[in-house]
Amino acid sequence: MTRIFFTTDVHGSDRCFRKFLNAAKVYKASCLILGGDITGKVLIPVVEREDGKYEAQVFGERAVFGKEKVDEVRKRLQDAGQYSVVTTRAGLAEIQADKAKEEKVFNDAMAEVLTSWVALAQERLKGTGTVCYVSPGNDDKLEIDSVLVDSGPFVNPEDRVVELDGGFEMITLGTANPTPWKSPREVSEERLGEIIERLASQVNRPEDAVYNLHVPPINTELDRAPAVSHDFNYVKEGLGVKYIHAGSSAVRKAIEKHSPLLGLHGHIHESKGFVRIGRTLCLNPGSEYADGILRGVLANLEPGKVHDFMLTSG
């Protein structure tokens, strides 16, 4: 029996990533899979003032603290998936005045955290027999690919077929169908279908395949998302928010055609759960990364079937 632990959409949360690595020991999993949207979206300036104090916007509120608290504040931010940079008022003005420089500072902070994650995975999992599969999702910039290089127990399975423990084959794709946010890795449904088909055609035993596809199949309980307007506000319906199915028709078509053993999905944080499409069990653990809560899925695989599974939270 092969035991996998899957999570997704940690969006830069250092606390969630450390919990992810610890899942190997806690759940006795031989495969750890982090399925995309691994980077954060926010960079918080920690500004040194003329009086020697520091200030920053910490979870929406202005905080002033001494130098001895800088590391603690930055850790709190990173645990919630928020990058930070220490600078002066003059340095901040210089960064904000130059879009290219602002972008570089953000990318450097992102790369620094990811590099530390790769090193941590190598350190924690060395000699354990557990392999850690980490791939980008649609929200992740292309610049991170140079950091996610296979090394020891750390593997980036993106856009290829890899063999998991027990001989199960896994295809991985973080690219999404179009979204309102025009994220870095989006293509048309037609193109998405072509990419998935190319990967699926390389699988030797479709009945034992794992499809690690970031976007869930459309029209299921895994892809219900709040509708947003052109100005990115939630669309109201009655007294609440309107929900739509935001998954991918290409993903669903591929699952219906090839009937893999297991589908691992994310992308829609609000839609944790499981569904069956034919013989295929499809899972979305959801995400609460901002609160440092790791949502996951533990699954035991046998040839030709998923023996059992469990949605986890911790």
Least-confidence region, from 161-170, 192-201, 225-234, 291-300: 225-234
Question: If you classify domain 2-39+107-313 with CATH, what class do you get?
Answer: alpha beta
Q: What is the pLDDT of residue 50?
A: 96
Tokens of 42: 């926010």
Q: Where would I find the beta strands (DSSP E) of the chain?
A: 2-7, 31-35, 42-48, 54-58, 61-65, 82-88, 131-135, 154-155, 161-163, 169-173, 210-213, 224-226, 236-237, 240-241, 243-245, 262-264, 273-277, 280-284, 295-302, 305-313
3-class secondary structure, 134 = strand
Q: How many CB atoms lie within 10 A of CB 272?
A: 20
Write out pLDDT tens, residues 81-92: 999 999 999 999
3-class secondary structure, 200 = helix
Architecture per CATH, domain 43-102, reads as: 2-Layer Sandwich (3.30)
Does the predicted model carry a pTM greater than 0.95?
yes
Write out pLDDT tens, residues 257-293: 999 999 999 999 999 999 999 999 999 999 999 999 9
Residue 135 binned pLDDT confidence (cut-offs 50, 70, 90): very high
Residue 11 binned pLDDT confidence (cut-offs 50, 70, 90): very high
Which is more confident, 230 or 243?
A: 243
Residue 309 has pLDDT above 90, yes or no: yes
Residue 68 binned pLDDT confidence (cut-offs 50, 70, 90): very high
Give the list of residues 6+ apart from residue 291 with CB closer than 8 angstroms, or none.
80
Give the mean pLDDT of 221-246: 94
Give the mean pLDDT of 240-262: 97
Q: What is the pLDDT of residue 43?
A: 97
Distance, in Å, from the CA atom of 303 to the CA atom of 33, rounded to the nearest integer, reads: 19
Distance, in Å, from the CA atom of 229 to the CA atom of 197, rounded to the nearest integer, reads: 32
Q: What is the pLDDT of residue 230?
A: 86
Write out pLDDT tens, residues 146-187: 999 999 999 999 999 999 999 999 999 999 999 999 999 999
3-class secondary structure, 39 = coil
Residue with tokens 């589908």: 263
Share of the chain above pLDDT 90, in %: 98
Question: Would you kindly state where each structural domain of the chain is located, as residue ranges?
Answer: 2-39+107-313, 43-102
